[in-house]
Amino acid sequence: MRTFHQVLVNTLLANVTTGMVWFGLVFWAYLETRSVLVTSVLGGSYMLLIALASVPFGTLIDRVRKKTAMTVATVATGVAFAAGLVLVLLVPSDVLLDMGGPAFWVLVVVLLCGTVVESIRGLALATCVTMLVPADDRPRANGLVGMTQGVGLAVNSVVSGLAVGYLGMGWLLAAGVVLIALSGLHLATLRIPEPEVVHAEGVPAKVDFVAAFRMAGAVPGLLGLIVFSTLNNLLGGVYMSLMDPYGLELVSVQAWGLLWGGLSMGFIVGGAIIQRTGLGANPVRTLLAVNVAMWMLGATMTIRESIVLLSIGIFFYMALITYAEASEQTVLQKVVPFAQQGRVFGFAQAVELGAAPLSTFLVGPLAEFWIIPFMESDEGRRSLGWLLGEGTTRGIALVFVIASVVGLGLTILAFCSRPYRVLSRTYDAATVNEVIGEDAGTRPE
């Protein structure tokens, strides 16, 4: 457990750094353009790259030691952030801020790649929970991971908002380079007890999407969970592309960053409750139950143009996200053999996150060119003003309400589905992953 806590702290530092840079880039881009289309492209590109890279990243984690995978991610992220800093320092600001020119998009792509590569750390951390934490303690360990994510989001939201508002992207990137270097130095001092790498028999060393799919399909009911999470993320892409524009229309970028920092305490509260109570006897049921509550919050937190109402909704939404993520990780860590977890985690992440860019790329143009103008018209106000009230952000609010109602319906259907019952039985019957190499069909390297 001591080693796990050290790895968790190191991952926190890396996550804070990459999140700070990414939040700063999104804030900066929207403030320069005032276009939800730009933020939807950024958010969609981020999710799409993570989806495409998740299986290769998962294969890397299965084929090398976990510390090696984390080191590769840290070095690659540091190089990308340093390259972005050089661009900001050398390219004149008027050229860099020209959205129609190549310099802006080169900066975006470089920082995007550095942020995406860091996702290796999250996949590796999930397998480290299996490797380092006793089975009975894993639900609480996953809750602690959620708390750590909340701390990271709180810190990077505040720092990125204040840095972009007062100092600019140059100082933000300089801080990113320094912090990611400190993360690498700390990682080098850690000793993660993994004397041998365990591989699944008959599984090729190359990146193989089909093999990852078969591994997931071999667990009864698991594909149903992945499909459910995929549909949830398809709708969640709506929030990714429009939440920052919505908030930045209500308050300044500095206030929005500080507000996110405070609201991120929801992650910490959720994780703390999990630490005390666990996830219940059936984490699959817990996952669906919290999704019902999350979609109900999503449907109500923007029905009036109020930063107070939005803040209350986001806080509880974040607390529930911790439960949802911890539940899914706990299920996967028990039902998937340890030697295959990198690939299966990567496959699940690829499929689940791959849906979000579809909605993100779609909702930006729809919101900007149709829904927002409609809600600003007299007809829109007359037809939906009773539900959404008055204000300049009512078009975005309408998108949130529609997505939430659809998500609530899908969750209720999932509760009644056969895959839910099958996976619940699979989880109850599964043996725990306690020792590296104990699973049938594995061999040490």
CATH of the domain at 318: 1.20.1250.20
- Number of structural domains in the chain: 1
Residue 201 domain-assigned?
A: no
Which pLDDT tens digit goes with each residue over 314-326?
899 888 888 888 8
Rounded Cα distance between 349 and 138, Å, is: 20
Q: Is residue 174 part of a domain?
A: yes
pLDDT band at 370 (very low <50, low <70, confident <90, very high): confident
Domain-embedded: residue 266: yes
- Residue 150 domain flag: yes
More confident residue, 443 or 222: 222
% pLDDT > 90, the chain: 11
Output 35 or 25, whichever has higher pLDDT.
Answer: 25
Mean pLDDT calculated for residue range 95-110:
81
In Å, how far are 20, 74, 215, 307, 354 from 131, measured between CA atoms?
Answer: 29, 21, 19, 43, 27
Q: Poorest-confidence range of 21-25, 314-318, 337-341?
A: 337-341
Q: Is 328 part of a structural domain of the chain?
A: yes
Quote the CA–CA distance of 266 and 285 in Å, as a whole number: 21
- Is 196 inside a domain boundary? no
List CB contacts of 312: < 8 A, sequence separation 6 or more: 301
**Cβ-contact 117, 77 below 8 angstroms:** yes
* Whole-number Å distance between alpha carbons of 408 and 27: 30
In a domain, 141, yes or no: yes
Q: Which pLDDT score, from 0 to 100, does residue 77 have?
A: 92
Q: pLDDT grade, residue 435 (50/70/90)?
A: very low
pLDDT tens-digit readout, 226-279:
888 877 777 777 776 788 888 888 888 778 877 877 887 888 888 888 878 888
Contacts of 365 (CB under 8 A, 6+ apart): 37, 40
pLDDT at 182: 93
Statement: the pTM of the whole predicted model exceeds 0.75: no
Are 343 and 55 in contact by the 8 Å Cβ rule? The answer is: yes
Asked whether the predicted pLDDT for residue 204 surpasses 50, the reply is no
- Residue 198 in any domain: the answer is no
Segment 138-167 mean pLDDT: 72
Percentage of residues of the chain with pLDDT beyond 70: 87
Residue 302's nearest CA partner among 252, 245, 255, 264 is 245
320-341 average pLDDT score: 82
In the predicted model, is pLDDT for residue 436 greater than 80? Answer: no
pLDDT at 135: 75
Q: How many other CB atoms are found less than 10 A from the CB of residue 331? A: 25
Domain interval for residue 287: 2-191+209-434
Higher pLDDT, 66 or 442: 66
The single-letter code of the amino acid at 385 is G
